[in-house]
Structure 1
Amino acid sequence: MTTATDPPPAARATTSRTGDVTAAVEAARRAQPGWDALGFAGRRKALNAWCALILRRSDELVDLIRAETGKTADDARLEVVLVAHHLRWTAAHAARVLGRRGVSPGLLMFNHAVEVTHRPLGVVGVIGPWNYPAFIPIGPVSAALAGGNTVVLKPSELTPRTGEWLMATLAEVTGGTRVLHVVTGDGTTGEALCRAAVDKISFTGSSATGRRVMAACADNLTPVVIEGGGKDAMVVAADADLDAAADAAVWAAMTNAGQTCVGLERVYVVDAVADRFLGLVTERAAALRTGDGPEADLGRIVLPRQLDVIATHVGDALARGARAVLGGPQSITPPYVAPIVLADVPEDSAAVTDETFGPVLVVNRVASVEDAVERANASGYGLGASVFTRDRSRGRSVAARLRAGMVSVNAVIAFAGMPAVPFGGVGESGFGRVHGPDGLREFTRTQAVTSQRFRPLMQPTSFRRRPGTMPALVRMVRTLYGR
């Protein structure tokens, strides 16, 4: 999820000058009060209309995503479905999550009424990745818009047209009023956006780039949401449905040619069932086809330098004694990588510790589920994870011990398809959340308003209080809370 130093000519975007970024932010700032004034109902109507327009022109978006990323048609279609699903949920639930609500003042301050509101921040900057150029940005973009903010989106330099398409279609719905602006270019444009007068930045990309985003935002104390990389693990217990686990593992590791932040990269399977599980995984992965034709299951690797990362990880693992159960260095034929399954990979090798971001799956056997949890948690990353066991209660118990922002039991990446579920990680995988109620709140500021309804008999918060006021107050609190 890093940006390319030298993207393919067909995918290059003109770098926006700092002045262009400033102009976009200023234009978004001017449009924000009017957008906020629509209220939740007005914004919901506009966002629903945008969703409907995207679906009417979904073939157009699918073709555009495929042209910029090399995805298979089905991978691009899935992305469009997720865009619509999440956009619709956000529009429908913003008022409930962010609307004004009453709060109890407590017994000591019973003479006050309290309301809590979530006010828009103003202008939100979103820096999107190339691997899911429509779906990943739509999370923070839709949440920010639903909350009354306007947005400046900086898509990856590899996928600028997808970002521009989203901007243009929303402008059709809003009658030409721009509440979503797009600035294109490489990391220079992203840095300019971080240093511009935006009120928050949402970034998705590599952990290394996330650090640079934070550093640029620090100058203005601009708050950030960081969704960094991942090294997601699956735990397979001895009682697991191995057929289902193997099918899930292959899809999670190989979908989008492995270029998924919550893609599966490590499996820890209990020794008693390891051989059978590995056989099922190998059989399914071997049947997958790579290429750009309509029959392909895996498309191309988008970043040329990612091919070097994949080759290095595979070579290092084999040099350290790992077994290539399927494929190997010969599977790398630029710009494609056929499925690779490695077994018995040392835990300190790059294929286990670092994000590979390709169709490479490490399967290591363990003595117990406890051993599997310990190894899964040894990673600096903490984005997603999965557990397979027929005992769902045990599955939830294992999930609770995994250091990950999201865990699926007897499924993979299920959380990404649920718009009500917060999405984000810990450690090297970042912080903050998109999607769900947490994602809506990320792009607002909370304001509490108290109003005194009547004067109390005792006035402890006044220098004019009576001599016996504070002793009486202490006695009352002891009565209420001292037992």
Structure 2
Amino acid sequence: MTSTAARPEATTDPSSGKTFDSLDPRDGSVIATHPVHGPDEVGAVVERARRAAQWWADLGFDGRRERLGAWRKLLIERTDELAELVSRETGKPLDDSRLEVVLVIDHLHWAGKHAKAALGRKRFEAGALMVNHKATIEYRPLGVIGVLGPWNYPVFTPMGSIGYALAAGNAVVFKPSELTPTVGKWLVDSFAEVLHRTDGYGEGLFGLVTGEGETGAALCRAGVDKVAFTGSTATAKKVMATCAETLTPILVECGGKDALLVDHDADLDDAAAAAVWGAMSNAGQTCIGVERVYVVDSVAEEFLDKVAQRAAKLRPGGDLRSVYGPITMPSQLDVISGQIDDALSKGGWAVLGGRESVRAPYVDPVVLADVPEDSTAVTEETFGPTVVINRVRDIDEAVERANASKYGLGGSVFAKKRGYEIARKLRVGMVSVNGVIAFAAMPSLPFGGVGDSGFGRIHGRDGLREFTRALAVSERRFKSLNVMTFDRPGWVVKLLSVLAGVIYRRNR
């Protein structure tokens, strides 16, 4: 269907002339070459998005839902094409890439379907003393959202901001990681294709800028109305400082050191399976991956055996038989090695693997136990297929240790009786009870952390509202007692004082 809303003019995308290559981390082969966008180029892309934003907002919830639905159908039709590209740029197995795309399809559907209910105009009580007024709240789009995406889940993670920002009525300018720019370009091109089909126009609304940190900084300074960032805590602080120059608000989703807690009555087979998958899938390169396990001492030995048996069967690699791929960012190999060394030197022991497990670009599964809580293997994010399993006297000590981290992203609890009770005690944004990472796959649940894991939320109604401003409106329905004027009679305020005493003495 062609929109009757006014469309901005399409313009060409300028380029600085500088380029960089996207590489397959499995063999170093070149996948594609992309431009390095400087401040002028970034500013031009943001300006085009600004012109497109009003057209998109004027389509209304139903018009946007229709177009996001068409994009969702395109993603369904081309899942294998996009998944293959994700696998090439990240090195992850094809099925893992397919799962990432499928989750995006579900989230995109939810955002389009629920945006009107979450953001549309609603009437609220005006209060007993303002009964002659009508009170309403609606959530208006901010305008242009800048999204700085990560490389570990180059479709699922940024789309948690992109899809919800679009559903809320904003234009988006996306700067994908320099490690996965081709995936970012695919997403932008596919949405433009959908808009060309429906409206005869596709440029500008969802724009792309590529490059490294300088390009990201340029986007923060380019006049966007909000920045959504996913990445390390250290980089988040730099992004926040840049955004502070222009008081640009920011949503920050950083890393974690997520803990899995195992109570004495837990199903140990389920808990062990969850610990291994949560720690090792995607080569451990998951912000909400399991990096620490606290298991009650009475079941610790049995649990350790089950984890070791499962993890020992896993093999990384770049072929179809591999369960996870390489470490995408080469510098992370030194971090993984350093944490293993620190854990062992401080008295921990290797249940499975060890320093020899790091063989670039792959890392075999590593299970460490009884590691001191001051080891970097416990305190710092690893982003590799390793897990630390420590014994505790009871579940209360497990909660205490889990909460001692400076991070607070997600967590997992395995317990038959007290699961929800334990979950409520964790200082995190999300918890899976008798499961792992399940909350991320549920579009209705908000996603985000506390502490060094960041602030703000994507997904769910909170995620939609993250990209809007609340607009509160009062409308006078009829002339009555009006205190907001110099013309009020002297008795009006006295009467209101009496009414307040009568009404609120009896109301609790």
Task: State the Cα distance separating 1:14 from its structure 2 match.
Answer: 3.4
Task: State the Cα distance separating 1:214 from its structure 2 match.
Answer: 0.5
- Taking structure 1 as the reference length, what is the TM-score of the superposition? 0.97
CA distance in 2, matches of 1:465, 1:92: 48
Partner of 2:441: 417
Task: State the Cα distance separating 1:238 from its structure 2 match.
Answer: 0.2
Question: Contact 1:55/1:84 (CA < 8 Å) preserved in 2?
Answer: yes
The answer to whether the aligner puts 1:196 opposite 2:222 as a matched pair is: yes
Question: Contact 1:344/1:365 (CA < 8 Å) preserved in 2?
Answer: yes
**1:190 aligned partner, one-letter code:** G
Question: Contact 1:163/1:182 (CA < 8 Å) preserved in 2?
Answer: yes
Deviations 1:229-284 (A, max 9, x none): 10000110000000100001100001100000000000000000000000000000
CA distance in 1, matches of 2:29, 2:77: 30
CA distance in 1, matches of 2:35, 2:179: 11
Look up the SS of the partner of 2:424 in the other structure: helix
Partner of 1:450: 474
Deviations 1:121-175 (A, max 9, x none): 1110000000000111111101111111110000000000000000111011101
CA distance in 2, matches of 1:116, 1:476: 27
1:225-264 aligned at under 5 Å gives the runs 225-264=251-290
Task: State the Cα distance separating 1:117 from its structure 2 match.
Answer: 1.4
RMSD: 1.4
Question: Contact 1:231/1:264 (CA < 8 Å) preserved in 2?
Answer: yes
Partner of 1:60: 81
1:304-315 aligned at under 5 Å gives the runs 304-315=330-341
CA distance in 2, matches of 1:284, 1:23: 52
The answer to whether the aligner puts 1:427 opposite 2:448 as a matched pair is: no
**1:461 aligned partner, one-letter code:** M
CA distance in 2, matches of 1:467, 1:27: 56
Say which of 403, 419, 422 aligns to 2:427: 403
1:31-42 aligned at under 5 Å gives the runs 31-42=52-63
Task: State the Cα distance separating 1:468 from its structure 2 match.
Answer: 2.4
CA distance in 2, matches of 1:193, 1:367: 50
Deviations 1:384-408 (A, max 9, x none): 00110011xx211111110000011
CA distance in 2, matches of 1:463, 1:118: 33
Moved more, 301-310 or 94-103: 94-103
Question: Contact 1:127/1:154 (CA < 8 Å) preserved in 2?
Answer: yes
Partner of 1:15: 36
**1:123 aligned partner, one-letter code:** V
**2:230 aligned partner, one-letter code:** T
CA distance in 2, matches of 1:93, 1:421: 13
1:13-92 aligned at under 5 Å gives the runs 13-92=34-113
Partner of 1:136: 157
CA distance in 1, matches of 2:488, 2:218: 55
Task: State the Cα distance separating 1:475 from its structure 2 match.
Answer: 1.6
Question: Contact 1:341/1:361 (CA < 8 Å) preserved in 2?
Answer: yes
Partner of 1:285: 311
Moved more, 334-343 or 172-181: 172-181
Partner of 1:324: 350
Partner of 2:5: none
Partner of 2:392: 366
Question: Contact 1:13/1:157 (CA < 8 Å) preserved in 2?
Answer: no
Partner of 1:273: 299
Say which of 367, 370, 394 aligns to 1:344: 370
Gap runs ≥5 in structure 1: none
Look up the SS of the partner of 2:35 in the other structure: coil
Task: State the Cα distance separating 1:211 from its structure 2 match.
Answer: 0.5
Partner of 1:479: 502
The answer to whether the aligner puts 1:465 opposite 2:488 as a matched pair is: yes
Partner of 2:114: 93
Task: State the Cα distance separating 1:13 from its structure 2 match.
Answer: 4.2
Moved more, 414-423 or 6-15: 6-15
**2:130 aligned partner, one-letter code:** M
Deviations 1:332-359 (A, max 9, x none): 1100001000000000000000000000
Look up the SS of the partner of 1:81 in the other structure: helix
Question: Contact 1:343/1:363 (CA < 8 Å) preserved in 2?
Answer: yes
The answer to whether the aligner puts 1:212 opposite 2:238 as a matched pair is: yes
Partner of 1:389: 415
Partner of 1:159: 180
Task: State the Cα distance separating 1:470 from its structure 2 match.
Answer: 2.1
- Taking structure 2 as the reference length, what is the TM-score of the superposition? 0.92
Number of residue pairs matched by the alignment: 476
Question: Contact 1:130/1:159 (CA < 8 Å) preserved in 2?
Answer: yes
Look up the SS of the partner of 2:328 in the other structure: coil
Question: Contact 1:233/1:267 (CA < 8 Å) preserved in 2?
Answer: yes
Look up the SS of the partner of 2:30 in the other structure: helix
CA distance in 2, matches of 1:13, 1:109: 59
**1:463 aligned partner, one-letter code:** F
CA distance in 1, matches of 2:288, 2:442: 14
CA distance in 2, matches of 1:371, 1:9: 48
Look up the SS of the partner of 1:398 in the other structure: helix
**2:30 aligned partner, one-letter code:** A
Look up the SS of the partner of 1:151 in the other structure: strand
Say which of 160, 166, 185 aligns to 2:211: 185
**1:26 aligned partner, one-letter code:** E
**1:151 aligned partner, one-letter code:** V
Partner of 1:145: 166
The answer to whether the aligner puts 1:115 opposite 2:136 as a matched pair is: yes
Question: Contact 1:21/1:189 (CA < 8 Å) preserved in 2?
Answer: yes
CA distance in 1, matches of 2:104, 2:492: 59
Task: State the Cα distance separating 1:59 from its structure 2 match.
Answer: 0.8
Look up the SS of the partner of 2:138 in the other structure: strand
Task: State the Cα distance separating 1:114 from its structure 2 match.
Answer: 1.9
Task: State the Cα distance separating 1:216 from its structure 2 match.
Answer: 0.5
Look up the SS of the partner of 1:407 in the other structure: strand
Task: State the Cα distance separating 1:9 from its structure 2 match.
Answer: 6.9
Look up the SS of the partner of 1:304 in the other structure: coil
Deviations 1:168-205 (A, max 9, x none): 11011101422111100100100000011100000000
Gap runs ≥5 in structure 2: 1-20
